[in-house]
Structure 1
Amino acid sequence: MVSMTEKKYHHLVYGSLEDCLTGEELLDTDDERIRQFLSRMMLEEKGYLPEQLSPRVSVETFFANLFVRSSIELVVSSAGRDFLIIRYGPGSLVSRERAAIAAARVLNDQYRIPLAMVTNGKEAELLDTITGKVLGDGLDSIPDAVLAERLVPDLTYLPPLKNKQRERELRILNAFDLERCCLS
C-alpha cells in the first residue's frame, strides 16, 4: 500500500542512478537509462562538452484545464547558440515529430531552434524545424561537436514566435504530450 506522501510512478523504478552530466541523483528507470545513454553518447562519441548539453529542460502549458510539462531530454549548443533539441519517447517516431518541432519553436526566447531529434532509444530522426522535413535517420545523423561548430553559423535561426503563432505551438505540445495513462 502506498502512503499519501509517497509518489506513485507508472514506470518500474530500479533504485537511483547518477546523472552523467550533472552528478545529480535520479530515479533509475528504463526511460532514464535511455536518457543517460543519449547524454553519454553526446559526450563520448559526439565530442560535446558537458556545458554544451542542457539536460531535462521543459516547457509547461495549460490549456482546457490540463497542465502538461513537455520534456526535452537535451538541448545542444555550439558556438554559443542552441541548435538542436533531443526528445525521447518509446514507440513510433512519426507520432513524436510534430511535438518535437513545436518544442524547438518555442523553447528559446531569442530564436527558434533549427533542428530537433526524436528517438525511441533505437531509431531516431533528425528534423528541420522550419519545414518539418526529416534530414537524417539514426543517431548517427546527429552532427558531432566539430561538424556542429561549422554548421551552426549557416543554420537559419528564425525570430521567436509571437502571440497566436506561439500559442498554436504551445497547444500542440499540450495535446501531444498529455500523459493519458495517468489521467483519472
Structure 2
Amino acid sequence: MHEVKFDQVIQDYLTGKDLQMTTYEDIRQALARILVEEKGYPVQNIKPRYKLPLGLDDIDYTINLDFLVTIDEQPAMILGFCPGAVSTYITQYVSAARIFPGGPVPFVLVTDSTDAALVRVKDKKEICRGYHCIPTWQHLQEIFKECPPCTFTTERQLKEKRVAHAMFALSDGYCSSSCEITSDKSQADS
C-alpha cells in the first residue's frame, strides 16, 4: 500500500517542524516518541527522514529512511517503518545499511508498529523478534560497541545497491519527493 498525503499538517516530534500528514506519519511520530520517552534515546541522536543517495550507474534515486540513529556521531541503527509483514522488508533495509557512506550501519530495526525485528547487518542475523526488541538507548550502545566493523567488496556493494533500488522503488509511495510542507501551495501539491 502506498502512502497517501492528506491536506493536514502534523508537527514533527523530533524537530518541531510542520510536516504534511500522510497515511503513516502519525505512526512514525509515535515511534519517535517511543524511542525518546520509553527507550531513553537522546533527540539529537535520531535523524528523521534521512536521505540516502543511491549512486547506482546512471540512476538518480534517493532512499528515504525513516530514522537514522547515531552514537558518537557514527551511524548505529536504521529504523524503518513498514506497512506490512516485517520479514518482507528486512532485506531492503539491510541492503541500504550495507551501502551507507563511510561503511555499513551495524543494525537495522524494522517494525510495522506491532511486530519488530532487530537485525545485525554484517550477516543479516535476526538478533531479536517482537515489539519488545526495540533496544533501549543503553542496550543499543552496548551492542554497538560489541559489533565489529565490517566491509563489503565493491562488487557486493553494487549488488546491494541494486537490491535496495529495486525494493525501495517498489515500496516507495511518494516520498522520493520532499515530504515537508512548503510555503508555496503549488510546490506542496506537486
- Using structure 1 for the length normalisation, give the TM-score: 0.82
1:25-44 to structure 2, matched below 5 A, reads: 25-44=18-37
8 Å CA contact retained: 1:61, 1:171: no
Q: Distance in 1 between matches of 2:169 and 2:78?
A: 19
- Give unpaired runs (5+ residues) of structure 1: 1-8
What's the CA shift string for 1:97-132, capped at 9, x where partnerless?
11010111112x222111111112221111111111
Alignment partner of 1:114 is 2:106: yes
Which of 1 and 2 has higher RCO (CA within 8 Å, sep 6+)?
A: 2
1:142 corresponds, among 134, 145, 164, to 134
Q: CA deviation at 1:42?
A: 0.6
Secondary structure of the structure 2 residue equivalent to 1:117? strand
Alignment partner of 1:178 is 2:169: yes
Q: CA deviation at 1:66?
A: 5.9
Q: Alignment RMSD, CA only?
A: 2.5
Q: CA deviation at 1:11?
A: 0.7
Q: Distance in 2 between matches of 1:10 and 1:82?
A: 26
- Give unpaired runs (5+ residues) of structure 2: 175-190
Secondary structure of the structure 2 residue equivalent to 1:26? strand
Secondary structure of the structure 1 residue equivalent to 2:6? coil
Q: Distance in 2 between matches of 1:34 and 1:10?
A: 12
1:16-165 to structure 2, matched below 5 A, reads: 16-61=9-54, 67-107=60-100, 109-159=101-151, 161-165=152-156
CA 1:19–1:65: 2 relative to 1, 3 Å = same
What's the CA shift string for 1:24-60, capped at 9, x where partnerless?
2111122111111111111101101111111111223
